[in-house]
């Protein structure tokens, strides 16, 4: 993985390293998801040492939502607010601000915006504003899953004009449809995300 140069204008976003994704017993386990945690902890330490802010997103769904198969969506129920599956994986070092997506029933993949599942109306989370206040120009994005929440967050960060770095060693993919991993990497590269080894 290329060394990421942290500093006060560089932020780190750790996406959805929660039990339901990163624990083999989780309801939407992302294959080998737990393998990214040690590397992510090292990035958190490096970011902290350089004065870079660290943000953590959490998928945080109501028990019933169109996001789940039980509500007409594609996903098994996961990351239900307050459940063990929604908690951060116990090995993850959590040392920064937490952004919960879906607290009021909205859902969405990006840490920057959530969407009302019924009306389709999208609105911003606090993340974009916080990054702006802090003068962040570069965002390093890591975590789960590369073809959904990491992808959506990286694309939104690019749309906000940020330089975005994605170390591939620090993400894993769901691959609900074979090839989703390659398509996600292509879409991110196309948007100017610096996808590294």
Are the C-beta atoms of residues 118 and 110 closer than 8 Å to each other? no
Nearer to ligand VGL, 45 or 187 (CB): 187
CB of 74 to ligand VGL, least distance (A): 8
Residues from 31 through 70 that contact ligand VGL (CB under 6 A): 59
Nearer to ligand VGL, 2 or 66 (CB): 66
Residues from 152 through 191 that contact ligand VGL (CB under 6 A): 174
CA distance 36 to 92: 10
101 is catalytic: yes
According to CB under 6 A, which one of 10, 17, 127, 144 is a site residue for ligand VGL? 144
CB of 125 to ligand VGL, least distance (A): 14
Residues from 11 through 30 that contact ligand VGL (CB under 6 A): 16, 21
Structure tokens at 28: 């939407």
Which residues lie closer than 8 Å to 129 by C-beta, 6 or more apart?
none
Smallest Cα–Cα separation from 193: which of 154, 161, 159?
A: 154
Structure tokens at 148: 């959904």
Candidates 31-39, 43-51, 87-95, 141-149; binding stretch for ligand VGL (CB under 6 A): 141-149
According to CB under 6 A, which one of 139, 148, 162, 185 is a site residue for ligand VGL? 148
* 147 belongs to the binding site for Zn ion (CB under 5 A): no
According to CB under 5 A, which one of 20, 23, 34, 59 is a site residue for Zn ion? 59
Candidates 34-42, 90-98, 143-151, 157-165; binding stretch for ligand VGL (CB under 6 A): 143-151
Instruction: Tell me the catalytic residues.
Output: 16, 101, 149
| Residues lying near ligand VGL in the complex (CB under 6 A) | 16, 21, 59, 75, 109, 144-145, 148-149, 174
């Amino acid at each position: 993985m290329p060394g990421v140069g942290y500093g006060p204008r560089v932020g780190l976003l750790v996406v959805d390293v929660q039990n339901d994704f990163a624990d083999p017993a989780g309801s939407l386990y992302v294959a080998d998801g737990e393998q990214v945690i040690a590397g992510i902890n090292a990035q958190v330490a490096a970011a902290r040492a350089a004065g870079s802010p660290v943000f953590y997103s959490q998928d945080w769904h109501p028990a019933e939502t169109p996001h789940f198969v039980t509500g007409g969506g594609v996903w098994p129920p996961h990351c239900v607010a307050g459940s063990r599956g929604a908690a951060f994986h116990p090995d993850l070092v959590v040392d920064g601000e937490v952004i919960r997506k879906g607290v009021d029933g909205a859902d969405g993949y990006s840490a920057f915006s959530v969407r009302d599942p019924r009306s389709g109306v999208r609105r911003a989370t606090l993340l974009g504003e916080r990054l702006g206040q802090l003068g962040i120009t570069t965002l390093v994005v890591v975590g789960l899953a590369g073809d959904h929440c990491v992808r959506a967050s990286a694309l939104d960060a690019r749309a906000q004009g940020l330089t975005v770095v994605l170390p591939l060693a620090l993400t894993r993919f769901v691959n609900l449809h074979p090839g989703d991993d390659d398509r996600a990497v292509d879409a991110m590269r196309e948007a100017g995300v610096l996808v590294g080894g």
